[in-house]
Chain A
Amino acid sequence: MKYAFEKAGESRSFPAGDDFLNGAVGPDQADVVIYSGARFTPDPRKTAILIELGMDCLGDHINEDEPSHANVLGFARYRNGDDSPSRLIELVRHPKAGEAAIAAARDLFAAAGLEVSLCNDQAGRIISRLVVPKYNAALRFLDEGLATQTDMDLTCKLGLGYPDGPIERVVRGGLASYYQVSKDLFDAFGAPAFAPPRRARIAFKQAMAKTDTPKG
């Protein structure tokens, strides 16, 4: 299946140097067109049009009731902050998405060696929706003195078989960027479990202060 990659700026899912970018062809030759940062153009002749998402929803880009958008899907390759992209593609469908477009997108990403999870167009998709409350709880437990960071991370690795502990993972990915993820979900759901934790708020403020510092 031939695909085109229309991007404006760096793609979080497929950053510069990613092999996937090398396989792209021109839009006219492509069955599937992937948009990353670039404004998307509806084209019902294409098997699928894929819009790369950040913390936004697919519905922010399309009109679900518009028939010419039936072949449009969203996607994001999961990354923990600044970590390298994982093997997971969260493929986002809207209520009137066509099955042919979904099948084509699955095949395309699977051919690139990626795992695809299909989800509906909800804030945080699957991973962020599930891990942010857990990571927030872990950071709060740390503040409350439940255990040391080392012991909390070790407990999750030894007791649950996780490859890394929740706190080491959030810190490695970047607490400042984590703040933004947590805040976006808190804004979307309003549930306290998503409220940015103290350590992330501080990291974000410090990062902003550095950005605001006059240079020269």
Chain B
Amino acid sequence: MTRAIRTVGVCGAGGTMGAGIALVAARAGFKTISFDMSEGALDKAAKQSVDFLDKSVTRGKLNGDKRDAIVAAMSRTTSIDGLRDCDLVIEAVFEDLSIKRDLLGRLDGACAEDAIFASNTSTLSITEIASGSKHPERVVGMHFCLPAQLMKLIEMSPGILTSEETFRTAWQWTEACGQMPVKTQDKPGFILNALLVPFNNDAIRAVEAGVAEPADIDRAIKAGLGYKMGPLELLDLIGLDTQIRLCEAFYPITLDPRAATPPLLRRMVAAGLLGRKSGRGFFDYQGNAMFGA
């Protein structure tokens, strides 16, 4: 029998992704409990969520009553026991297998026997994460895209032991939230990152190999393929240090040479060129000067 989802918990809700997921749930009318170890992070996320909703009202995308109902549906806790009434708990904590497995073990003790746990991992195996729970049949992959409150896509992945009922219930919940789920196998990077991370590495290697300057590469990709952003501009936005972390998550489990960290990327990060957040990556965000081969 399919479990009715009424109350949704979000772990790691003090972060950008977690806060966005909480907004998705509350906006769809679900009672939503945001959990994070840091009260300050939760306060900050709550303020950002209210700001987002207020902007939606200003832009005419949301009426005032609906805004108030969403805010009223959202609550916060720094205690995992505060999630005990949740029918569905979505984790969006740091992308570390041991942290996620440990969290699932703690959720086993805090939540009802039939609660569903979803992981927002973008790179890790759902099956491995689920091994942290005594009930791996109730664990499912549910990868939102940033920013979750604006992006409709969700990659839904069953682990080896995920029950059909769990997957179906979680799938239906995403649809009830107005999202667009796609089904993928539990493989590294699912669809999005399995295609994107090596592609971005290839662009870095093209710079390193002297194929063209970064601006020429990005211009070619945008004009030739109609992409909104070139791969090097996107990498600057993602953060070059983040790309290294993605490579380090992917390469050991895939042994795909395209997923290995390009040497130029390591050199740039060592030099403090992290992308937009440091003011310079493949492009300079103060003077628009270009960096590259």
Bound: A154/B155 CA distance, A: 11
A46 interfacial contact with B, CB 8 Å: no
Question: Is B224 in contact with A154, judged by CB distance below 8 angstroms?
Answer: no
Bound: A88/B225 CA distance, A: 9
B183 interfacial contact with A, CB 8 Å: yes
Chain A: minimal CB distance from B232 (Å)? 11
Partner among A90, A159, A163, A193 whose Cβ is within 8 Å of the Cβ of B258: A193
Could you give, for residues 251-293 of chain B, a 1 whenever the CB lies within 8 Å of some chain A CB and a 0 otherwise?
0000001100000000000000000000000000000000000
Question: Is B155 in contact with A130, judged by CB distance below 8 angstroms?
Answer: no
Tell me which residues from 40 to 86 in chain A have a Cβ below 8 Å from any Cβ of chain B: 78, 86
Partner among B196, B202, B211 whose Cβ is within 8 Å of the Cβ of A160: B196
Contacts of A115 in B (CB 8 A): 219-220, 222-223
Bound: A122/B205 CA distance, A: 13
- Beta-carbon nearest neighbor of A169 in chain B: B225
Residue among B195, B203, B210 with the highest chain A CB neighbour number at 10 A: B195
A117 interfacial contact with B, CB 8 Å: yes
Interfacial residues, chain A to chain B (CB-CB below 8 A):
78, 86-88, 90, 115-120, 122, 125-127, 129-131, 133-134, 137-138, 141, 144-148, 151-152, 154-156, 158-164, 166, 191-193
Chain B: minimal CB distance from A141 (Å)? 7
Contacts of A122 in B (CB 8 A): 209-211
Question: Is A146 in contact with B194, judged by CB distance below 8 angstroms?
Answer: yes
Identify which of B133-141, B185-193, B241-249 touches chain A: B185-193
Known pairs A87-B223, A127-B221, A160-B192; A120 contacts B212 (CB<8 A): yes
Contacts of A129 in B (CB 8 A): 202, 206, 211
Bound: A113/B169 CA distance, A: 51
Contacts of B155 in A (CB 8 A): 155, 159
B101 interfacial contact with A, CB 8 Å: no
Contacts of A156 in B (CB 8 A): 191-192, 195
Question: Is B223 in contact with A155, judged by CB distance below 8 angstroms?
Answer: no
Contacts of A154 in B (CB 8 A): 153, 180, 182
Question: Is B224 in contact with A78, judged by CB distance below 8 angstroms?
Answer: yes
Partner among A134, A144, A148 whose Cβ is within 8 Å of the Cβ of B195: A134
Chain A: minimal CB distance from B247 (Å)? 15
Question: Is B224 in contact with A88, judged by CB distance below 8 angstroms?
Answer: yes
Bound: A141/B198 CA distance, A: 14
Question: Is A130 in contact with B203, judged by CB distance below 8 angstroms?
Answer: yes
Bound: A120/B208 CA distance, A: 12
Question: Is A145 in contact with B185, judged by CB distance below 8 angstroms?
Answer: yes
Partner among B153, B203, B223 whose Cβ is within 8 Å of the Cβ of A86: B223
